[in-house]
Amino acid sequence: MTRKALYTGSFDPMTNGHLDIITRASKMFDELVVGVIVNPNKHPLFSKEERVSMIEEVTSHLSNVRVDSFEGLLADYVNRNHFDAVVRGLRATSDFEYEISMAQMNACLFDEGIESIFLMTSPKYSFISSSMIKEVVSLNGCVDDLVPQIILQRIKEKYIK
Ligand code: COA
């Protein structure tokens, strides 16, 4: 039986912290879909298409990973596409509080048997967020070890006109 998981987020843009979770989750499932969400509460730097294509480039060496995008309720997308699990990364205890309420709400909305699974973010990346990376790059700070080079280049192109 094929085990299929979703790793979702806004990925504006993807960082090495996300890549770490994707790499590890891809070893746990037969298929891992990275689902780029269009979050109406956020004003992204990158379009949905740019975010999808950057993740595709960076994960091209992972043969069981593919990238998709969606809007609306996470549970609708998960049920419609018959995922077995949704993977989330935990960076700090503050993430846990948000994640537990989201997982419990999703448990009410998911079809039977779909699980939320949490992976601890590598300590190397536990302090980063996409917003922090964008802010540091926009102010000419060095984040070479925190973002894939291809993505770092794209962020610089957005800020250096
Ligand atoms: N490494 C580095 N950074 C990480 C990370 C990791 N492992 N995991 C998360 N982050 C960062 C993200 O880059 C993001 O940074 P930002 O806020 O600066 O953009 C931040 O942590 C928060 O990430 P996340 O919690 O994944 O937020 P998100 O907006 O990317 O995704 C959804 C949130 C998509 C899971 C949630 O909004 C959702 O499910 N929306 C759909 C609507 C819905 O169904 N709502 C009901 C839910 S019960």
**Which residues belong to the active site?**
18, 42, 91, 130
pLDDT of residue 1: 78
Which of 74, 79, 114, 118 maximizes ligand 1 atoms within 8 Å of its Cβ, making it the mutation to test the pocket?
74
Q: Does residue 57 contact residue 150 with C-beta atoms inside 8 Å?
A: yes
Which residue lies with its CA nearest to atom 39 of ligand 1? 74
pTM summary value: 0.95
- Taking the C-alpha atoms of 108, 112, 114 and 115 in order, what is their torsion angle to the nearest 10 degrees? 60
Contact residues of ligand 1, CB 6 A cut-off: 8-10, 12, 15, 17-18, 21, 37, 39, 73-74, 89, 91, 102, 105-106, 121, 125, 128-131
pLDDT of residue 110: 98
Q: Can you spell out the DSSP letters for the chain?
A: ---EEEEEE--TT--HHHHHHHHHHHTTSSEEEEEEE--TT---SS-HHHHHHHHHHHTTT-TTEEEEEE-S-HHHHHHHTT-SEEEEEE-SHHHHHHHHHHHHHHHHHSPTT-EEEEEEPPGGGTT--HHHHHHHHHTT---TTTS-HHHHHHHHHHH--
CA of 131 to the centre of ligand 1 (A): 11
pLDDT of residue 42: 85
3-state SS record for 63-74: CCEEEEEECCCH
pLDDT of residue 161: 67
Per-residue pLDDT tens listing for the chain (161 residues): 789 999 999 999 999 999 999 999 999 999 999 999 998 888 999 999 999 999 999 999 999 999 999 999 999 999 999 999 999 999 988 889 999 999 999 999 999 999 999 999 999 999 999 999 999 999 999 999 999 999 999 999 999 76
- Give the other-Cβ count within 10 Å of 36's Cβ: 24
The tally of CA atoms less than 13 A away on the side-chain side of residue 110 is: 20
